[in-house]
């Protein structure tokens, strides 16, 4: 097995790039993921200025995405006495980070669909073609049941603590 030596800046760039790509494939703004990645591997909180120059992005872009990261609870503001600038740092606990991301996406994106599905499940659907009606109803029911169960599981994850997750869930993997 070969062990390579690479420059820190190069390794960091690779990591940020990969994290940004991953994010954008999953519907998260590339810049947002990249800022998050940058903060995850920085020893100290960074100012907007620093983030701007490290990632070559504009002030507006930096500001909006830092704000979004704070909305998600993934990044916190840090104020320093005698300094008017704001500094930002990412929570480094990945379990907590994942928990927050999952919770937020569930709330914003999954919950509305679950609502619609249960709505469609309770509504009386009218139509002339019986085969179509039956297929629609049973299709929606199947999806609704599965999604409901998956959602319960996700909820369990979101509400559990790290200890439970690692001990109870991961022993299933063995």
Partner DNA sequence: CTTTATTTTCAGTAATTATTGAAAGTTTGA
Partner DNA sequence: TCAAACTTTCAATAATTACTGAAAATAAAG
Q: Which does 65 bind (CB under 5 to 8 A by kind): a second copy, DNA, none?
A: DNA
Binding-site member from 44, 56, 81, 167 for a second copy (CB under 8 A): 44
Binding-site member from 9, 56, 81, 82 for a second copy (CB under 8 A): 9
* Buried b / exposed e along 144-154 (16+ C-beta atoms within 10 A): beeeeeeeeee
Interaction residues for DNA, span 49-68 (CB under 7 A):
49, 56-61, 63-67
CA 5 to chain centre: 32
To which H or E segment does residue 38 belong? helix 30-40
Q: In this structure, what DSSP letter does residue 79 have?
A: E
- One symbol per residue from 99 to 138: x for binding a second copy (CB under 8 A), - otherwise; what is it? ----------xx-xx--xx--x-xxxxxx-x-xxxxxx--
Q: Which residues contact 12 (CB under 8 A, 6 or more apart)?
A: 38, 41
Separation CA 1–CA 144 (nearest Å): 49
* C-alpha triplet 96, 11, 4: angle, nearest 5°: 120
- Nearest Cα to 38, choosing from 21, 26, 22, 20? 20
Closest to a second copy by CB, 83 vs 123, is: 123
83 part of the interface to a second copy, by CB under 8 A? no
Q: Which does 143 bind (CB under 5 to 8 A by kind): DNA, a second copy, none?
A: a second copy
Q: Which residues bind a second copy (CB under 8 A)?
A: 1, 3-9, 11-12, 14-15, 18-19, 22, 24-27, 40-44, 92-95, 98, 109-110, 112-113, 116-117, 120, 122-127, 129, 131-136, 139-140, 142-143, 145-147, 149-150, 152-153, 155-156, 166, 168-170, 172-173
């Amino acid at each position: 097995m070969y062990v390579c030596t690479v420059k820190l800046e190069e390794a960091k760039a690779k990591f940020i790039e990969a994290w940004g790509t991953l994010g954008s494939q999953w519907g998260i703004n590339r810049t947002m993921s990249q800022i998050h990645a940058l903060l995850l591997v920085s020893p100290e909180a960074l100012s907007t200025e620093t983030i701007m120059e490290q990632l070559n992005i504009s002030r507006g872009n930096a500001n909006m995405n830092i704000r979004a990261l704070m909305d998600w609870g993934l990044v916190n503001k840090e104020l320093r006495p005698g300094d008017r600038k704001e500094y930002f740092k990412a929570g480094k606990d990945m379990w907590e980070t994942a928990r927050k991301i999952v919770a937020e996406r569930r709330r914003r994106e999954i919950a509305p669909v679950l609502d619609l599905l249960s709505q469609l499940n309770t509504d009386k659907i009218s139509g002339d073609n019986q085969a179509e009606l039956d297929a629609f109803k049973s299709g929606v029911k199947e999806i609704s049941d599965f999604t409901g169960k998956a959602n319960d599981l996700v909820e369990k994850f979101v509400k559990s603590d790290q200890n439970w997750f690692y001990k109870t869930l991961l022993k299933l993997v063995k």
